[in-house]
C-alpha cells in the first residue's frame, strides 16, 4: 500500500502541483486548504507525513503543527516564504522535521519527503536507557534520575540522538543534520541554546553537567555512565 501524504496550503495551485508530482512519485495524497480542515483531514486519513504551509486561514501552520504533535509523531515538513533564522528555528522547535522555503521545486520537495520518511522509519527503537536517563520514543517521554521531564520537540530529538550513541562526540552541524536533516550553518550556534535548556531540565546541576558533556572545540557527547 502506498504511503499517504497530507498536503496543506491555501494556494490551490501549489497544492495541485505538489499533489500531481507526489502522485507521480507513487504516493497517495490528501489535501486541505486551511488549518481547521487540515486537522480534520489528519484525523480521517492518518497520513505518513504532513506537508504544511505556515500561513493558513482559520488556524496557522504553527498552531496546526503543535496540535498534531500533541497526538502524533508523524513527520511534518513546513512550507513558508519566511526566510529569517528565527522563523526557521520557531518552525523546527514546534516539532517540524524539515523546513522548505518558497519558492521551491517539486523535485526538491520530493527529495525532502523521502529523506524525512527514511529518518522517521529509523526511529523505531522504543526505549533508550543510559545511566540515569530513560527515554521512550513511542510515547515521547523522558525521565532523569527517575523524575519525568517535559521537553520541546527539538530537545527530545536531540537527546534521543545522543542517547542512541552514548560516548560518541558530535559536532553541532552533525547534530543538526541528524535531528533535522539539514546542516543549516546559520543555525549551528542554536544547538548551544538547545543544549543549555536541555541541561536545565535534566541535569542535577546544569553548571556541572553529568549527562550532556561539552567537548571543547568540537561539540557534545552523552556520558556513557552518569551519577544523576
Q: What is the pLDDT of residue 228?
A: 47
- 4-121: which CATH architecture? 3-Layer(aba) Sandwich (3.40)
Q: What is the pLDDT of residue 29?
A: 95
Gap between the Cα atoms of 137 and 160, Å rounded: 8
Question: Is the bond into 103 cis (omega within 30 degrees of 0)?
Answer: yes
Give the CA distances from residue 207 to residues 212, 216, 217, 220, in Å, rounded to whole numbers and listed in that order: 11, 15, 19, 15
Could you say which residues of the chain have pLDDT below 70?
1-2, 82-93, 121-125, 180-189, 226-228
Q: What is the pLDDT of residue 153?
A: 79
Q: Which helix (H) or strand (E) covers residue 130, if one does?
A: strand 127-130
With CA atoms as reference, report the closest residue to 54 among 16, 17, 84. Answer: 84
Tell me phi and psi for residue 202, to 5 degrees: -110, -20
Q: What is the pLDDT of residue 59?
A: 92
What confidence tens digit (pLDDT) does each residue in 101-159 have? 888 888 888 888 888 887 776 555 678 899 899 999 878 889 999 999 998 878 888 89
If one counts every other C-beta atom within 10 angstroms of the C-beta of residue 2, the result is 12
Domain 127-222 sits in CATH 3.40.50.150: no
Burial of 46 (C-beta count, 10 Å sphere; 0-12/13-18/19+): exposed
The DSSP secondary structure of 37-96, one letter per residue, reads HHHHHHHHH--SEEEEESS-SSS-HHHHHHHHHHH----EEEEES---HHHHHHHHHHT-
Tell me phi and psi for residue 130, to 5 degrees: -135, 110
**Domain locations in the chain as residue ranges:** 4-121, 127-222
3-state SS, residue 133: strand
Amino acid at each position: 500500500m502506498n504511503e499517504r501524504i497530507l498536503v496543506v496550503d491555501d494556494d490551490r495551485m501549489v497544492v495541485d502541483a505538489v499533489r500531481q508530482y507526489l502522485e507521480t512519485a507513487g504516493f497517495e495524497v490528501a489535501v486541505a486548504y486551511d488549518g481547521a480542515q487540515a486537522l480534520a483531514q489528519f484525523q480521517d486519513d492518518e497520513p505518513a507525513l504532513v506537508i504544511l504551509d505556515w500561513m493558513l486561514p482559520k488556524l496557522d501552520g504553527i498552531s496546526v503543527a503543535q496540535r498534531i504533535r500533541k497526538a502524533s509523531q508523524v513527520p511534518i515538513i513546513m512550507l513558508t516564504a519566511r526566510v529569517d533564522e528565527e522563523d526557521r528555528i520557531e518552525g523546527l522547535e514546534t516539532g517540524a522535521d524539515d523546513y522548505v522555503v518558497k519558492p521551491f521545486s517539486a523535485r526538491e520537495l520530493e527529495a525532502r519527503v523521502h529523506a524525512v520518511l527514511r529518518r522517521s522509519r529509523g526511529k523505531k527503537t522504543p526505549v533508550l536507557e543510559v545511566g540515569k536517563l530513560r527515554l521512550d520514543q513511542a510515547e515521547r517521554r523522558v525521565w532523569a534520575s527517575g523524575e519525568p521531564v517535559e521537553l520541546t520537540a527539538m530537545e527530545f530529538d536531540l537527546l534521543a540522538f545522543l542517547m542512541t550513541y552514548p560516548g560518541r562526540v558530535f559536532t553541532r552541524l552533525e547534530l543538526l543534520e541528524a535531528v533535522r536533516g539539514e546542516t543549516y550553518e546559520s543555525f549551528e550556534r542554536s544547538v548551544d541554546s538547545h543544549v543549555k535548556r536541555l541541561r536545565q531540565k535534566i541535569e542535577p546541576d546544569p553548571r556541572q553537567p553529568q549527562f550532556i558533556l561539552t567537548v571543547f572545540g568540537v561539540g557534545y557527547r552523552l556520558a556513557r555512565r552518569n551519577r544523576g
